[in-house]
Structure 1
Amino acid sequence: MHCRSAFREERLDVLHGLMTAHPLATLITAGSNGLEANLMPFTLHAGGEHGILRAHLARGHSQLDALQGGAEALIVFQGPECYVTPAWYPSKAEHGKVVPTWNFAMVQARGKPVILDDATWVRAQIEELTNNHEGQRASPWKVADAPDDFIAAQLKALVGIEIPIRSIEGKWKVSQNRLPADRQGVIDGLRSEQVCPSMLATMEAR
């Protein structure tokens, strides 16, 4: 990943925080059919130096062959992002030498996938994924709410993926390369125009 030093994020807790908050990631593999990329929700677990990613997919999924091949996969987690207008920079009024840009935060993780053909494992992963998102609701839905035979049939059509993270990189491009006044101008612009509250929170936290 191309990343200037000003934008590099290396704190594992911060990287994991983005991955947990934005679990729908792009899984990228290279196999006999070439490069393939698909969106997939992941759960993050402790283990190894950088953590372990888990997910599930259909047995007939076109990416399964590449995952079974043992080649390293790339998983891209996209966090907050927003367009930045030059109108927010005080320096625009001073000299006009400004252009639009895009602020964003992202994490790239790499590791070799392991396929798990185990209905008990897959159910546990699905239950964790479900509970993570249903837990915020007043009346959370649970996997056990569905009929047992229905869930059993669904599980037969799925396999699990476990990816021990070999390497992990983070890029937080949140106007660190601008003068302090311009960076504050972006924060003020996001707040006053009430756009992209997640990016506003990200910038205010750094």
Structure 2
Amino acid sequence: MFKIIGIMTVIIVLRKLIQDNPLGLLTTAIPSPNHPFLQSSHIPFVLDIGYGEDETNLGKLRGHLARVNPQSKVMIENLTENPHLNNVIEQDVIVIFNSPIQHYVTPKLYTETKPTTGKVVPTWNYAAVQVYGRARIFHDTKTDEAGRFLSKKILDLSRHAKNKVMGFTGGDNPIDWKVSDAPDKFIELLKKSIIGIEIEITSMGGKFMMSQEMGMGDRQGVINGVFQAGIGDCKGDVQDGAGPKRSEGSKEGECLIKRYHDRLEPGL
């Protein structure tokens, strides 16, 4: 059953989920006599949002696909047969980003409502962002434009993965690998086996279902149940964030419940 509660439109929150969880599921719908109409691939993306926190400019997503991927083949086929498209896919594409922490919520966890009224049913808590846009494909590696795009994309993704995902920021956590550690000829050879994709974002939205429509007692029951199930890695942080007010300054590495459950005000 679709619930209005949980719809998220705050751009900075949507961007944060993407940056923390850059592996997106790209889906295209391109007519082809040789390939399925619908194609999907998991791709790690770099989100470009420019300077500041301008919410009117939604930004771009940059990624790459293996050239032998059937989704790559159908895009190349379509663009080769339609040069007037200037390497921009005619149909919109969608990319879905999911938080890694999601779980079934049994009615037993609603410790306030279940004993008093029994009017509770199971649900599934999760957080996800959907991004829509137009995709430009860089598939001709003989062109300088494609070469520059892929080189920058490889460097930026490696930097984001090392710094943001792995936490290798220097000092006690030194960066363990750089693109420059590999031979240039090896990198150039690999670039020939991939295509680049740049998505101009036209709209984005999210669904953050964290039982935030429930009362404080039920929400605390969900938090306790999450820990008993061994989900998440920040028990102290969740307990600190159990209040009904929006918390600020969440440190990196806090689990989903702390970040979103009680930061979302009831009714979102």
TM-score normalised to structure 2 length: 0.70
State the one-letter code of the partner of 2:256. M
Shift of residue 180 of structure 1?
Answer: 2.9
The yes-or-no answer on 1:27 pairing with 2:26 is yes
1:101 paired to 2:123: yes
Q: Give the % identical residues.
A: 35
Letter in 2 for 1:165: I
Q: Note the aligned Cα RMSD (angstroms).
A: 2.0
Alignment partners' CA distance in 2, 1:13 and 1:97: 35
Aligned counterpart, 2:149: 121
1:113 alignment partner, SS class: strand
Structure 2, unaligned runs of 5 or more: 51-55, 80-88, 141-145, 169-173, 234-254
Q: Which residues of 2 match residues 127-166 of structure 1 at below 5 A?
A: 127-135=155-163, 136-137=167-168, 138-166=174-202
Structure 1 residue 194, shift from structure 2 partner: 3.5
Aligned to 1:71: 91
* 1:150 Cα deviation from its structure 2 partner: 0.7
The CA deviation at 1:98 is 2.4
The answer on 1:203 being equivalent to 2:202 is no
Give the number of the structure whose residues are more often strand, by fraction.
Answer: 1
Q: Distance in 1 between matches of 2:3 and 2:123?
A: 15
Structure 1: which 5+ runs fail to align? none
Query: In structure 2, what residue type is equivalent to 1:60?
Result: V
Aligned residues: 205
Is the aligned partner of 1:191 residue 2:194? no
TM-score under structure 1 length normalisation: 0.90
Aligned with 1:52 (options 52, 60, 76): 60
Return the structure number with greater relative CO, CA threshold 8 A, min gap 6: 1
Task: Give the partner amino acid of 1:38.
Answer: S
Larger radius of gyration: 2
Structure 1 residue 39 displacement after superposition: 0.6
Contact 1:119 1:156 in 2 (8 A): no
Q: List, as ranges, runs of 4+ consecutive aligned residues in structure 1 with deviation greater than 4 Å.
A: none
